[in-house]
Amino acid sequence: MRVALGVTGCIAAYKAVEVMRGLQKRGATVQVVMSRHATEFVTPLTFSSISGLPVVSDMWAPTDDPEIKHIRIAQSIDLLLIAPATANALAKFANGIADDFLSTLYISTNAPVLVAPAMNSEMWLHPATMENVRRLKERGVQFVDPGEGYLACKTVGPGRLAEPHEIVERALEIIETKQSAGSESQPANLDLLEEHVLITAGPTYEAIDPVRGITNRSSGRMGYAVAEAALSRGAQVTLVTGPVSLDPPAAARVIRVQSAAQMYDAVMGSLSEATLVVMAAAVSDYRPAQVAGRKIKKDGSGLVIELEPTEDILAAVCRRGGSRVVIGFAAETDNLLANASKKLVEKGADLIVANDVSAPDAGFDVSTNRIVLVSSEQVEELPLLSKRAAADHILDAASKIKAARTPA
C-alpha cells in the first residue's frame, strides 16, 4: 500500500506529520511531496526522518535517476492524498495547471485522489473556491471537508483541516475500495447484479418551530458506505437520505427527506421493487405533537413539549412480507446484544447490525465502525473496520441469508 502525501503551504502543514504517521501505522509506505511554500512551515527533514524516504519538493532537482520521477511516482501509488490543500492548490488542480512537482503529479496519476482542504473561512466559502471544488468532484476527486473551529487568523468558522485520524480513515477506505475491485485480470465481485437494494441513511429532523428541531448526530456515513458497496457489486440502489453533508454515489437513485414521515413515505413508495432493504438511518423515535408556526420566544420560564411517536419504518417494512431480506440497525449505549436481539424479534427483521455509539471509534460521525451482526442463527462480532469494509460484511451476511432461503 503506497500513498503519495502532498503537503501545501499553510499553517496546518504540521498536521500532515500526524497524517503520515497514521498511514504508516496502518501499513502504508508514504512518499511525501511538498510544495515550495510548504517547506516554509515544516522542513523536509521532518518528513524524511519519519517516512524513511527523501522528500520531493523540487521539479528540477539534480538526480542520478534516469526515470522521470513524477511519472514513476504517479504510476506506483495507490492513492494521492493532499493534506492540507490550500485554495491555490485547488485552483491549480481544477484548472490543469502543472507548474511544480505536486501539481504535475496530480495531473499525471490515474490513482484515486483525496483532498483535505485547509484555509481561512472567507477563502473556503469564496465562489471561486467552491467552483473549483465542484469541478474537482465532478472529475472524481474525493474530499475530506474542513471542519469548523478556531483558525490561525483568530476567527472561528469553516476552513479548519479535518482531524488527522479522519483523513487517514478516509484514505484507507478509498484504498480498500480500489483493492477490493481487483486488477483487470480479476473480475469484480458482481454477486448483487440481480438485486435492487433500498437503503436509508442519515438522521431525520423533526421541527419544533420554524428554526428549531429534534435530530441526532448521525452523519450518514454507514448508509452511504453500504450504497457504495452495493453499487460496486452490481446492484441497483435507491438511497433514501436524511439531511447530511455527504455526496451520494453518482449511480444511486437518491431520494432526499427531512422528517421520519417523509422517510416512511419514500421507503414504502420504493419498497415494491426492492429485493434487499438496509435500514441504516437513525430515525427519530418521537416528534413534537404540535409544531409552532412562529419561533418560540425565550421568556425565562420552562418549556414543555409534548412528543408523539414517529412511524416505525423497519416494522412496517417487515410487515409487508415477501422474499426480500430486511436488515435493521441498533445504535445502543448499553446492553448491546440484548437490545439488538430484542429488536430482531420485535421488528421481524432478518438481521440486526448493532453497534455501541458511545465508543469513540464506532459511534456517530467517524469513519470506522465496530459492528455485531445479530440474526436468529448466530451472533458475529467483527473487529474495528472502516465503514466501507463493514458495509461489505453486511452485504455478505445478506447474501448468505438469501441463499439459505432459496431452493437448491
Give the orientation angle of helix 164-181 with respect to helix 221-232, to 10 degrees.
20
Residue 102: per-residue pLDDT: 94
The answer to whether residues 364 and 216 touch, using CB atoms and an 8 Å cutoff, is: yes
Q: Is the peptide bond before 84 cis (omega within 30 degrees of 0)?
A: yes
Q: Which residues are catalytic?
A: 153
Q: Which of 405, 408, 407 is nearest to 376 (CA)?
A: 405
Low-confidence residues of the chain, pLDDT below 50?
64, 66, 183-187
Place of cell 420566544: 297
**Residue 188 cell numbers, joined:** 469484480
Contact 220, 201 (CB under 8 A): yes
pLDDT, position 388: 86
- Say what the pLDDT of residue 152 is: 66
**Of 75, 12, 7, which is closest to residue 47 (Cα–Cα)?**
7
Q: Could you tell me the CA-to-CA distances from 21 to 24, 57, 84, 144 in Å, in that order?
A: 5, 19, 15, 18
Q: Classify the C-alpha dihedral 149-155-159-161 as positive or negative.
A: negative
- Say what the pLDDT of residue 218 is: 93
Residues paired with 327 in a beta bridge: 278, 351
Q: At 261, list the grid cell.
A: 414521515
